[in-house]
Structure 1
Amino acid sequence: MMKPIPSAQPAFRALAAALLLAGAVSGCSMAPTYQRPAAPVADAFPAVPPAAGAAGSEASTGATQSAVETGWRSFFPDGRLQQLIAAALENNRDLRIAALRIEEARGAYRIQRADRLPTLNATLSESRGRTPGFANASGQPQIGERYDAGLGISAFELDFFGRVKSLSDSALATYLATEEAKQAAQISLVAEVAKAYYTERAFAQQQALAESTYDARKRTFDLTKQRVEGGASSRLDLRSNEQQMETARASALALARQRAQAANALALLVGRALPGGSGQGSAQGSAAPMPATLEAMSDAEADAMSSLTAGLPSDLLANRPDIRAAEQRLKAANANIGAARAAFFPRISLTTSIGSASRDFSGLFDSGSNTWSFAPQLVLPIFDTGRNLANLDVSHARKNIAVADYEKTIQQAFREVADALAARTYLGEQVAAQRAVQDAQAERLRLLQLRFENGVASSLDVLDAQRELFTAEQALVQARLLRTSSAIDLYRALGGGLK
């Protein structure tokens, strides 16, 4: 109820007391004390036995460097790949969406945090009203005017039971989870760009091998054709040579298509057209030159990639941003339980104002025109058809879901590291074995070609050796690509890639 008072001092004191009371009662919380769940994995990564017949494995290379201490520029020394990763971190649309999610979550947290403090509003209003004649002594209708000006707090909740604080804590944890999610997206993007780059390079080398094989088979076809014309060979040999030659040409065309599609996938990750064309080298652009073959790149980086130490599974909790994001989501769900519990208790809100009122605008701030109001409100839930209880049950269920999600994220991270360690142990020896197969097939083909040119061996023997060499060469490229990809997977699984 509005009433004049001789001075504004008591009103200012009342408003200041309300603000102090608001600050004093907003630090409580009914949220459960947060406890990090135990990691549902073993204390160490599984030991990987050495490969059969191997003198040693890449897993025992005296690794001492942590993935999180190795920046991606150090891990990927190739200049062109560094340019592509830098461009992807700047232009990738998925990463841009992740950054905008952070802005959204930050804004939501600031909105929720603002509810913990009173909102002070200044008001200035004018009102007019007509009073009928029977309502006053004069018997004549009258037009009345009133001007009001003041400062006020409207419906501010005094957070005795921590409902608003719990909601603010939940919003903060959600915001932090989006920050961690962006870092996880950055690490994944670095790894995906590198894998796409090496995949394109592998197709480039396979295409070159197919074209080289086609040239070799064409020479054999031409020689067989001459021998057929001279009566030294049959048309069956000629058609067999032709079939092998066209098979190599078809393989070259298929690999050219796959290489172009791999370059398109790389361009999508980078977020713009690739410099120097679609992976065709640097002759058409200013990017650093492509390596001549994948072998030169992967062999040069193999030692550095295998120098990463896995550490302990417990290290993943601190190093993996996706695990940290899952824990923040768990904290948000835990805080929401506090808000759901507080809903069972009375909710106290305060509306208060101080100001001045007058029938004339010119007399709005004259002496004796001061006004004040103080209107606390208490709302006690009595019967809500079980809404609050159901909301509390939902909050507990969502926390249990968040716990399961957190544990699953840890288990997935554990498996990714374990798989990458197993790959590191075996793929180095697999590459060495496949290289030996290729060398043996190349020597076999050389000897058979000499015998064929001297009329000792048939062209079918040469064709068979060419086919097996081509298969061995393609398999070696794939083995190198697997070794490189597994090293990148280990780097990502251990939480590296942001520096």
Structure 2
Amino acid sequence: MSKSTLVYRGLMTSTLSIALTACINLQAPKPVIQSNIPENFTQNADQNHAGPSIAHQGYQTFFSDIRLLQVIEMSLNHNRDLRSATLNIQRAQQQYQITKNDQLPTIGANANALRQVNPSINPNHPYASYQVGLGMTAYELDFWGRVKNLKDVALNHYLATQSAQQSTQISLVSQVTQAWLDYAFAPANLKLAEQTLIAQQDSYNLNKKRFDVGIDSEVPLRQTQISVETAQNDVATYKTQVTQAQNLLNLLVGQRVPQNLLPNQAVERIRTQATFATGLTSDLLNNRPDIKAAEYQLLAAGANVGAAKARLFPTISLTGSAGYASTDLQNLFKSGGFVWSIGPSLDLPIFDWGTRKANIKISETDQMIAVADYEKAIQSAFREVNDALAAQAHIDERLGAQRRLVLATQTTYQLSSARFKAGIDNYLSVLDAQRSAYTAQQGLLTLEQSKFNNQIELYKALGGGLNQK
């Protein structure tokens, strides 16, 4: 056996042994996260803390109105944003499969025919050569974990995309429910404006009669006319809002919502349970898919650091082929025509003017950005929950005060009207009382809708709306 053959076999044995046993992963360690997670939510009473988080309830369990549940189901099937997010998952999954395949050698068939002249043998008679076989393209021996880190980058991007789709679904359930409520309360406001317009028109007719017979001056008549025109403007405004609310709901659902699934009046209840359990603060990290997406992006950034560092070391690739070769096409596959070759190749850039080190700095900076984004995602999640809890803590007090205000202004309006008809007061006191009563009733409808919206926001902020049951 020749010396060159021994050297070649030794090189091959050493190369394969290193490839199988001595791979190094240069992936950056996971950085320390300083999110300052509180032990309890602010404004969180004991009854809110006890029990598992409402985020574990599917929307079909959390919401009580059958019509609303059907509208949500339609949106999950037809909404374009959710469909786009789902397609992004499929794209990321295929990209991960590509990077995963890069860890395996690529085998391809090849065949060629060559017509040539050898001047040293017979320059006047060209001859042909034929070859067919299988070849392995340059297969990188992943000593430093570059290919594995790139696979981890693609995997974490895929998982982040999946979490983003889940976050889109949670947001969609919330948006559809709030749009459905907008449509429920817009007709209620329209009805209030129409009732006010009728009352203003009656007052205008009464003042016109008093003016025609000379009891009052023209001032009360014109004041009443101003109120009538204002009420007519409000009616037109709320009619527009009804149409716009329906248009928004149709957009979110992705198709026209059937009329039988739309509320015909302001709803009194949208949830099945009376209490809201927020669970432990640590549950929020598991229930919020946007936090998970930020964490996966952080892991991907760490893997990118490892891939960039691996570029500092030599890239060793393995190529090989096996097949048949002959100068006679008829004898191509006969005995003696089998040929093969295999060997490593080394690629080590010597002078790159600092490009590889700059890429490492960039990847490390990207990792620090991902850390900041992850910490902000956690802090934003807690802020959203605390804001919703703060609003929930006092919404019933505000509703109670607003209902008493409505009763007081209506009583004042009735008394002012009676005193005006008896000739005790002028009409200005009636107008003030009427405006106050109308404004108080509008404020009550707004607060009632705000209470429902707060329940939806708390459910969303805790991560609810992902499970369907």
> What letter is aligned with 1:363?
N
Deviates more, 1:319-328 or 1:195-204: 195-204
Tell me how far apart the structure 1 counterparts of residues 70 and 159 of structure 2 sit (CA, whole Å): 30
- 1:389 corresponds to which letter in structure 2? K
Q: Which residue of 2 aligns with 1:104?
A: 91
Could you tell me which residue of structure 1 aligns to residue 292 of structure 2? 324
- Give the Å deviation of 1:20: 7.8
Moved more, 311-320 or 18-27: 18-27
Report 1:92-491 matches (<5 A).
92-131=79-118, 134-137=119-122, 141-276=124-259, 287-293=260-266, 297=267, 299-301=268-270, 304=273, 307-491=275-459
Distance 1:372 1:164, change over 3 A: same
Paired with 1:36 and 1:208, the residues of 2 have a C-alpha distance of 57
Equivalent-residue separation in structure 1 for 2:235 and 2:371 (angstroms): 51
3-state SS of 2:135 partner? strand
TM-score of the superposed pair, with normalisation by structure 2 = 0.91
Measured after TM superposition, the shift of residue 266 of structure 1 is 2.1
How many Å separate the matches in 1 of 2:165 and 2:146? 29
1:261-290 deviation line (CA, Å, top 9, x unaligned): 2322222212222322xxxxxxxxxx3351
Per-residue deviation, 1:63: 5.8
SS at 1:126 equivalent: strand
The alpha-carbon deviation at position 239 of structure 1 amounts to 1.3
The one-letter code matched in structure 2 to 1:44 is N
CA contact (8 A) 2:64 2:272 kept: no
Match of 2:62 among 75, 97, 108: 75
Residue identity over aligned pairs, in percent, reads 41
- Paired residues of 2:145 and 2:307 also in contact (CA < 8 A): yes
Shift of 1:212: 0.8
Contact 2:43–2:393 under 8 Å retained in 1: no
Q: Normalised by the size of structure 1, how large is the TM-score? A: 0.85
Distance between the aligned counterparts of 1:19 and 1:118, measured in 2?
16
> 1:39-89 deviations in whole A, cap 9, x for unaligned?
3332222236xxxxxxxxx88478635222211122222233223222221
Q: 1:438 to 1:162 in 2, by over 3 A?
A: same
Q: Give 1:316's aligned amino acid.
A: L
Structure 2 residue runs without a partner (length 5+)? 1-8
Residue 4 of structure 1: aligned partner: none
Cα drift, residue 457 of structure 1: 4.5
Provide the rounded CA distance (Å) in 1 between the counterparts of 2:289 and 2:295.
10
1:495 partnered with 2:468: no
SS of residue matched to 2:270? helix
Cα pair 2:305 2:360 within 8 Å, conserved: yes
State the 1:455 CA deviation: 4.6
Cα contact 1:155–1:349 (8 A) shared by 2: yes
In structure 2, what residue type is equivalent to 1:24?
Answer: L
User: What displacement does 1:156 show?
Assistant: 0.3
- Find the aligned partners of 1:470 and 1:440 in 2 and give their Cα distance: 12
C-alpha offsets along residues 172-220 of structure 1, whole Å, 9 cap, x if unaligned?
Answer: 0011000000000110111111112212322221111111100111112
CA RMSD of aligned residues (A): 2.6
User: C-alpha separation between the residues in 1 aligned to 2:261 and 2:349?
Assistant: 70
Q: Distance in 1 between matches of 2:14 and 2:106?
A: 12
Q: 1:303 to 1:36 in 2, by over 3 A?
A: farther
Kept in 2, the 8 Å contact 1:19–1:118? The answer is no
Give ranges in structure 1 of 5+ residues lacking alignment. 1-12, 49-57, 277-286
Q: What do residues 307-337 of structure 1 show as CA deviations (whole Å, max 9, x unaligned)?
A: 2222233221111000000000000000111
Structure 2 match to 1:31: 27
Whole-angstrom CA distance in 2 between matches of 1:110 and 1:26: 25
* CA shift in 2, pair 1:289/1:339, >3 Å: closer
The 3 A distance-change label for structure 1 pair 462 and 238 is same
Number of matched pairs? 458
Contact 1:26 1:159 in 2 (8 A): no
Cα distance in 2 for residues equivalent to 1:420 and 1:180:
23
C-alpha distance in 2, partners of 1:78/1:411? 33
Q: Deviation of residue 19 (structure 1)?
A: 12
Query: Is the 2:413–2:433 contact (alpha carbons within 8 Å) kept by the matching residues of 1?
Result: yes
Partner residue in 2 for 1:66: 53
